[in-house]
Amino acid sequence: MSDINRQKIVDSVPQKGFFGHPKGLFTLFFTEFWERFSYYGMRAILIYYMYYEVSKGGLGIEESTALAIMSIYGSLVYMSGVIGGWLADRVFGTSRALFYGGILIMIGHIVLAVLPGDLTMLFISMVFIVIGTGLLKPNVSSVVGDIYAPGDTRRDAGFSIFYMGINLGAFISPLIVGEVAKKSFHLGFGIAAVGMLLGLIVFAVTKKKNLGLAGTYVPNPLTPAEKKKVSIIVGISAVVLAVILGTTIPAGIFTLEVFITLVGIFGIAIPTIYFVVMYRSPKTTSDERSRIIAYIPLFIAAVMFWAIQEQGSTILAAYADKRTDLTFAGLEISPAWFQSLNPLFIITLAPLFAWMWVKLGTRQPSVPKKFALSLLFAGLSFLVILLPAYFGGEDSLVSPLWLVLSYFIVVIGELLLSPVGLSATTKLAPAAFSAQTMSLWFLASAAAQAINAQIVKFYSAETEMMYFGTIGGAAIVLSLILFVISPKIQEKMKGIR
């Protein structure tokens, strides 16, 4: 609605009530807490559900195929955020987008929890969760921004509190769902569905009182002519897609392997197109073109980093299940519990890093050097996993502390890259493409997992040392290259630090 300006939205939100922050932060904190509880709980057991034998409650899919599906799933989740953001901006606003998204996510988990387990039901549930997460994830953060006035000094602290909710949900859920899944995978998925239901209830019950007008407006609504054009394009595309799938799937042409390959191509092609369009646009100034050039090596570094970090839910999850001694200090450990390590270390270390950057001030490393260091730690996190196999052999079970150390090292890299990358993206983005450049940053994760879908098939007990050594070594080499060229990148950034 064009008559609703930013200040009217802020004025409609009670500005005190949640640790000195707007009351709306309570609604968004717990909505996102339960959504992340739901998502990470499901993700912690999904890989095991796919490759465990049918007699153990799984689907009995070949492990390499299950690892590839998991990677493609992660890639599509990030890609769908672009569509979710567009729908919120042009069709129904962020508030309705995240509510609809939550409903779709819950339905996806219910499909996994209630319906008979087979590959068809798995893919149906994934479609619901991918679309739902694309609607919810980017838009809930946008609503957080809406509840603060542009000059409000509480904004950064508010996002920090919100970020804590994300990681608390991600930390707790694998511990609960992983334990329950020992008895039944379907019960574990059911708990994930209940988590999303609680998030929806919190949002629906408190949004009117706490959020006011935040998220209710459509920033750039489609005109009647545009609606007609979009409807025609979507309709034709749906028919063409149905015809293609209806003929190629029965004929054995469109297979799972073909789909994985296509997602891999899109994962690389979409960000490439973004870069070309932004660089060649007449709306982009010469300084902004220089910054786009500077952003390209940072983007490539981010893809390399996330390719390693995201294997925590695929390769390292399988490693936890099959190569790790799951008895420690008299306790029987669920392999899913290791998925709680990443958010636990982020919660613990993030305040330390924030303090460190403030303390260093102008003496802190440049953005390219921070990215180089993040790649160094990512590479080391994989090389660490080589050591137990080197010393104890490929057939012996290794101490869980090796996995703990690997997750710890990669989180150090994540804290050097993720918040820094978000900040750098906002600074380096051309003015005409600020929102799209933020979408581009998230596409680095999509590209990384699309690449992972191609490379995880090379992992096995026999190739373990070669796999971790090659990928870890490649990350370290790229880190050194980035460190060497960082002065050139900094020069291209045209005064941005």
Q: Are strands 331-332 and 327-328 parallel, antiparallel or unpaired?
A: antiparallel
Q: Which two tokens stand for residue 481?
A: 């290259």
d(CA 57, CA 66): 15
Query: Any bridge partners for residue 18, and if so which?
Result: 21
Are 1-221 and 255-497 in the same CATH fold?
Answer: yes
CATH of 255-497, one of 3.30.750.24, 1.20.1250.20, 3.10.580.10, 2.60.34.10: 1.20.1250.20
As a CATH number, domain 1-221 is: 1.20.1250.20
Tell me if residue 192 falls in helix, strand or coil: helix
Residue 372 pLDDT: 96
Residue 397: per-residue pLDDT: 87
Task: Look at residue 2 in the predicted model and tell me its pLDDT.
Answer: 43
How high is the pLDDT of residue 188? 93
Say if residues 70 and 45 touch (Cβ distance below 8 Å). no
Distance CA 65, CA 461 (A): 15
For 331, 332, 381, 401, the CA distances from 328, given in Å and listed in that order, are 5, 7, 22, 9
Q: What is the pLDDT of residue 1?
A: 42
pLDDT of residue 489: 92
CB atoms within 10 A of CB 59: 17
End-to-end C-alpha distance for the chain, whole angstroms: 37
Distance of CA 363 to the CA centre of its chain: 31
Tokens 């996330």 belong to 306
Task: Using alpha carbons, list the distances in angstroms from residue 347 to 97, 164, 364, 477.
Answer: 28, 7, 22, 29
Question: Phi, psi (5° rounding) for residue 115?
Answer: -75, 155
The whole-angstrom separation of Cα 229 and Cα 90 is 13
DSSP conformation letters of 41-75: HHHHHHHHHHHS-GGGTS----HHHHHHHHHHHHH
Residues 6+ apart with CB under 8 A from 244: 254
| Per-domain boundaries in the chain | 1-221, 255-497
Q: Please list the rounded mean pLDDT of every run of 10 residues in the chain (497 residues).
A: 65 80 88 91 92 88 91 89 82 88 94 84 91 86 80 76 87 93 91 93 91 81 87 92 89 86 88 89 89 93 95 92 88 91 91 83 87 96 88 79 95 89 81 74 90 90 89 96 94 81
Query: Quick check: 185 and 58 in contact, CB under 8 A?
Result: yes
C-alpha dihedral (98, 159, 405, 37), degrees to nearest 10? -30
For 135, 284, 427, the CA distances from 433, given in Å and listed in that order, are 21, 9, 12
Q: How far apart are CA 46 and CA 318, in angstroms?
A: 11
